[in-house]
Amino acid sequence: MAASVPAPFTAPNKTLKLGAKGAAVKALQTRLKELRYLPGKIDGRYGGTTQAAVWAFQKINGLKPTSTITARTWNALEQPAEPRILVPNGKPDRAEVNLTKQVMVLYRGGQVRLITHISSGSGVPYVEYAMWNGERQKFTGDARTPTGNFKTTWRRSGWHKSYLGQLYNPIFFNGGIAFHGAQSVPLYPASHGCVRLPMHVAEILPGQLGTGVPVHVKGKFAR
């Protein structure tokens, strides 16, 4: 299915930094939302939710992610790139996780529904001790988000306690590996293996991503 053509956009070309307020921020947020990134509330305030959307947009457009909005990002917003399709013959409803760029793209009916910044498995082996089933236990793993083709399975609403920490609105797709909201979603892979999402994305994802939907995980992050 052909990609929809975004409406024309004239950038304010004003340098913006995190914490900025005003009409230029509102224009930024409005454009990001139109392009299926999720900047949060369109309120003219450049906070963390907008920053996460900016990062996702910059990564899709081949720009080094930064919270400062300069001419390069404004120019890309005028002529935005489409996310590269990882599975050209994939189902119309699917999620594609690009570990190389650290982004997730959700397709509904063959169209991009949302694009988000993520943080996947760090690849650093871990040893964790936690109280589980009433006793202190040792857990080890390679902190890797395996590549492959999966499907969404079970989920939980709100905070779900696992032996490796708290997961917000988790949607599992590969054993104990899930999409879930996290308070920290940095610009590098940092999880035990799950796909961390900004909290505001995890808030709405359960309503967008059903059970039994294909999840394709491709690529490899280069540090």
- Which residues are part of the catalytic machinery? 180, 194
Q: Provide φ and ψ at 50, rounded to 5°.
A: -65, -40
Q: Please measure the distance between the N-terminal and C-terminal CA atoms of the chain and give it in whole angstroms.
A: 34
CA proximity to 102, closest of 191, 162, 213, 4? 191
State the helix-helix crossing angle for 48-60 and 199-208, rounded to 10 degrees. 70
State the helix-helix crossing angle for 71-78 and 23-34, rounded to 10 degrees. 40
Task: Report the Cα 17 to chain-centroid distance in Å.
Answer: 21
Q: Are 168 and 181 in contact (CB under 8 A)?
A: yes
